[in-house]
Amino acid sequence: MTIKAYGATAADKPLESMNIERREPGARDVQIDIAFCGVCHSDLHTVRSEWGGTVYPCIPGHEIVGHVSAVGGDVTAFKVGDVVGVGCMVDSCQHCDSCAEGLEQFCENGFTGTYNAATPDAPGYTLGGYSQRIVVDDRFVLKIRHSAEQLAAVAPLLCAGITTYSPLRHWKAGPGKKVGIVGIGGLGHMGVKLAHAMGAHVVAFTTSESKREDARALGADEVINSRNTEEMGAHANSFDFILNTVAASHSLDAFATLLKRDGTMTLVGVPEHPHPSPDVSALIFKRRSIAGSLIGGIAETQEMLDFCAEHGVVADIEMIRMDEIDKAYDRMQRSDVKYRFVIDNATLAA
């Protein structure tokens, strides 16, 4: 079927309206009419080929929510009209050890990304959520239990939400734990909300005084200006866990030294230029760890969505029309968004 989409034909071209093909639903497929799609930094990096390897035309978007409009004959978990989501993955090998453990994001044969990943479908690589409709294997479709009016604000949970939820769970954020969130952007604002909902004592780190009140409103118990060395020093050796969402190259030591013995700081952003090598002695003398984490598996993504529905957690969003995407990218690069743009996919029809 032919549908409308919005994408880039080259790294240096603005996004434009175009028609694309979607496969007819197979036996295990769910066809989704997309209502909203969140705008992730990965979309921008990919359309501009900042990570290399982008195939054009490129249709980004991996924070997808919408309604089921058809299902294949073998699909039992979903029916027409269901409210569903699709995140960063649309397939994986399904037979490696990681897939067997429900950790499809670490598929040893490489998961299939929702856009710019090889697929048998035309045109040979996946096309994302800046489009009217998507067809996805039912194992990669998530159920959404939030109320209907929250749907747009649910979209960012599919990438920003799970990227922060998974490490918070893995490193056991919860009551009695002091948890730091570095960077209050698309990812960080979700980190603050989720860590707060999990019952942790949440400390937000920001470089701008103007974000203090905002961070508190999101659920932070304390806010630290990370440029204020006195303020930073007062928290030395006190954190159980720090989730660092900042992708720009920066000194990790300033945060690592705030960890208690056996504490961990987990990075979820890939810097364009490497971070300076951390001070090894600061790690050795307190058995501290610096770790990484990548989105989350499908089962955990469902767990995160259910947790958020139960606790009333959604993203703070700014809705845009599809044709406002380039302006949104420019603002995103200046961190001028609170805290996630979400596209109203109905505007694709205009």
Min dist. Cβ of residue 111 to Zn ion (A): 7
Q: Which of 20, 34, 40, 304 binds Zn ion (CB under 5 A)?
A: 40
Residue closer to Zn ion (CB basis): 3 or 96: 96
H/E element, 45: helix 41-47
> Considering only residues 168-227, where is the footprint of Zn ion by CB under 5 A?
none
Q: What is the CA radius of gyration of the chain?
A: 20
Which span (5-13, 69-77, 151-159, 241-249) binds Zn ion, by CB under 5 A? 151-159
Tell me, letter by letter, the H, E, C secondary structure of 267-287.
ECCCCCCCCCCCCHHHHHCCC
Using CB under 5 A as the binding criterion, the count of chain residues that bind Zn ion stands at 8
Strands 64-71 and 83-86: antiparallel
Q: Which of 31, 42, 126, 302 binds Zn ion (CB under 5 A)?
A: 42
Is there binding between residue 46 and Zn ion (CB under 5 A)?
A: no
Is there binding between residue 159 and Zn ion (CB under 5 A)?
A: yes
Angstrom distance (rounded) from CA 177 to CA 202: 8
Nearest to 315 by CA among 219, 208, 242, 181: 219
Min dist. Cβ of residue 18 to Zn ion (A): 22
> Considering only residues 268-297, where is the footprint of Zn ion by CB under 5 A?
none
Whether residue 32 contacts residue 135, with contact meaning beta carbons closer than 8 Å, is answered with yes
> Considering only residues 85-124, where is the footprint of Zn ion by CB under 5 A?
92-93, 96, 99, 107
Min dist. Cβ of residue 9 to Zn ion (A): 22
Angstrom distance (rounded) from CA 97 to CA 257: 35
H/E element, 161: helix 160-170
User: What binding mask, one character per residue, do residues 311-330 give for Zn ion by CB under 5 A, x or -?
Assistant: --------------------
Residue closer to Zn ion (CB basis): 257 or 301: 301
Query: At a CB cut-off of 8 Å and minimum separation 6, what does 310 contact?
Result: none
What residues make contact with Zn ion under the rule CB under 5 A?
40, 42, 92-93, 96, 99, 107, 159
